[in-house]
Chains A and B, each alone.
Chain A
Amino acid sequence: DARVTQTPRHKVTEMGQEVTMRCQPILGHNTVFWYRQTMMQGLELLAYFRNRAPLDDSGMPKDRFSAEMPDATLATLKIQPSEPRDSAVYFCASGWALAGNEQFFGPGTRLTVL
């Protein structure tokens, strides 16, 4: 039963601290996406990778957010320094690089920045 995994599931931190969220995509998928869910904006695309190369990170605040894929089994999203407005649920999704192919989502990381 292949699925996307994300760690941690919950994170509470104080403003100014570094936060790292991790994602293990489904084996064989070659695209990975990071989304943020907020009440007002729904699912916002933050960044996505194809074959581990970043294709689009225009949705991320560049000064504090960074996304990487050190290898095919791990994607990371880092926030440094974190701010209260970053509080949200962050989802990772993976899929195949064909137009319209469904994405498979992880369970999300609920981040609270105090």
Chain B
Amino acid sequence: DQQVKQNSPSLSVQEGRISILNCDYTNSMFDYFLWYKKYPAEGPTFLISISSIKDKNEDGRFTVFLNKSAKHLSLHIVPSQPGDSAVYFCAASASNNDMRFGAGTRLTVKP
């Protein structure tokens, strides 16, 4: 059962523009959400997170928005850079620490 869904397998953006990656979840028990970034031949690395008590968290060029009523979160990258090209995974966890990941979105930032 896919409790975390990333419906866009790929996204292509011009350098300097905004990248918006989306994620939906079905389990209302999830209370913590994370984004991971993955380069080829490497493991995923943590990028940014948000608790369910917030609706926005910002870290430099990266901002995560959470809409609990819609069970939707998004990652905004602005401005996008070629080095941001990677696969981005959305993840969600509940208090039992079990974490579920989406299928990933491959972001390509074109120079």
Which residues on A are within 8 Å of B, measured CB to CB?
A: 4, 31, 33, 35, 40-45, 48, 50, 55-56, 91, 93, 97-108
- B43-A93 in contact (CB<8A): yes
Do B45 and A105 have beta carbons less than 8 Å apart?
yes
Give the number of chain B interface residues (Cβ < 8 Å): 29
Q: Which of B41, B42, B101, B104 lies at the interface centre, i.e. has the most chain A CB atoms within 10 A of its CB? A: B101
Question: Of A35, A102, A108, which is within 8 A of B46 by CB?
Answer: A102
9 A-B pairs closest in CB distance: A100-B32, A105-B43, A42-B103, A43-B101, A102-B46, A99-B95, A105-B44, A42-B104, A107-B43
Query: B76 near A: Cβ within 8 Å?
Result: no
Nearest chain B CB to A91 CB, angstrom units: 5
In the assembly, what is the distance between CA of A44 and CA of B103, in Å? 9
Tell me if A100 and B44 are in contact (CB < 8 A): no
Contact B103 A41 (CB under 8 A): yes
| B11 at the A interface (CB under 8 A) | no
* In contact, A45 and B98 (Cβ under 8 angstroms): yes
Contact between B43 and A40 (Cβ–Cβ < 8 Å)? no
- CB contact under 8 A between A42 and B6, given known A50-B97, A102-B34: yes
Q: Are A99 and B44 in contact (CB under 8 A)?
A: no
Q: Give B5's nearest chain A residue, CB to CB.
A: A42
**A35 to B45 alpha-carbon distance, docked (Å):** 14
Q: Which chain A positions have C-beta within 8 A of B44?
A: 43, 91, 105
In whole angstroms, what is the CA distance A45 to B101 when docked? 8
Q: Could you write out 25 A-B pairs with CB less than 8 Å apart? A: A33-B99, A42-B6, A42-B103, A43-B102, A43-B103, A48-B97, A50-B97, A91-B44, A93-B43, A97-B97, A98-B97, A99-B32, A99-B93, A99-B96, A99-B97, A100-B49, A100-B51, A100-B93, A101-B97, A102-B34, A103-B46, A104-B46, A105-B45, A106-B43, A108-B41
